[in-house]
Chain A
């Protein structure tokens, strides 16, 4: 089999590797709050206290039939199918922003139910298909 030196090197390398993996894991774990790109409405609901001056991101689905356009303001509801949050925003929205699709809103919390967005990002899912296939899928529903 392999010599003593090979085993020793293997042991030493595994040791370094494990220590670095463990450190990376601990760092990511302690920074989890910052590693996540957005919070869900449920996480917002469960916040111990809200800071209305801190810029945060809320993400989820745009609830069906909730987009309302005023003169220069757009209102909609972000849902994670457990909790909801009302969002107001004035400005341009990305092309993929629509009802029933994913969205990430960046801005400030007014309270646990109202969010004032400064920026809207569309989040799309992992499904890719031609329009005809989508229509066929809808038809069979």
Chain B
């Protein structure tokens, strides 16, 4: 069943969804920005520059989450040959890359006033740059080998091998001494971000997640239309 989604059926759902997601996104980001820029307090040591966190951290999370999702889908594509996942994985990549770049750029902007440098070759920052390179290679492979039969396997393999980098990014701040501070939020211990700052962080994460779903659906719909135009009724 999973193997043969009918593009027409999916398209009837995915072509309507963006409207509603855009609506919810606008509400969430409005409240999120209000919280992040005005209501939430300044930090005891960083003062107002802490507000960059509300863009930087959600972007980094989304880009990591998106790449992990692509890798899991790719695993299913290679092992179980689930064809309908191919377009989903392909359509997820652009939003992931955009958020990865946002995380790097905002990190740089945040680094200057707090650390005193725009860039440092520490393990966290370098591994995040490598993730961006993997996104670029993944998207390029789709472009270059478009139409080839092997393109599914090639791109999936890139995503699976790139996934090795994901735990390295996560644990880089624990394994090596880095300029980047360790994680503030953990499942097993108390978070070291005050509640008044967790509210905008959560809202902005939700807003960015909605936005990446929106970009994903737009890309996915375009891909479905392309397939329809080729006159195929099955993926």
Contacts and interface: CB of A to CB of B under 8 A. Distances in A.
Interface of A: 2, 6, 9-10, 13, 16-17, 20-21, 24, 28, 32, 35-40, 59, 93-97, 101, 104, 119-134
Given A130-B44, A131-B41, A6 B80 contact: yes
A91 B118 CA distance: 17
A8 to B, nearest CB: 10
Interface stretch (B97-105, B189-197, B205-213): B189-197
B146 interface: no
Interface residues on B, range: 35 or more
Interface string B124-168: 000000000000000000000000000000000100110010001
Given A94-B114, A120-B116, A126 B182 contact: yes
B197 A121 contact: no
A64 B197 CA distance: 29
A131 B178 CA distance: 26
- Residue in B121, B178, B183 whose Cβ sees the most chain A Cβ within 10 Å: B178
Contacts of A131: 41-44
B192 A126 contact: yes
B122 interface: yes
B99 to A, nearest CB: 21
Contacts of B8: none
B122 A37 contact: yes
Interface majority SS on A: helix, strand, loop or mixed?
A: mixed
Nearest to B156: A13
12 contacts: A17-B160, A28-B168, A37-B123, A38-B179, A96-B45, A122-B116, A124-B115, A126-B184, A128-B50, A129-B44, A130-B42, A131-B41
Nearest to A95: B113
Nearest to A59: B177
B98 to A, nearest CB: 26
A128 B193 contact: yes
Given A35-B176, A40-B177, A126-B192, A96 B46 contact: yes
Contacts of A93: 116
A116 to B, nearest CB: 18
B78 A13 contact: yes
Contacts of B184: 126-128
Nearest to B122: A37
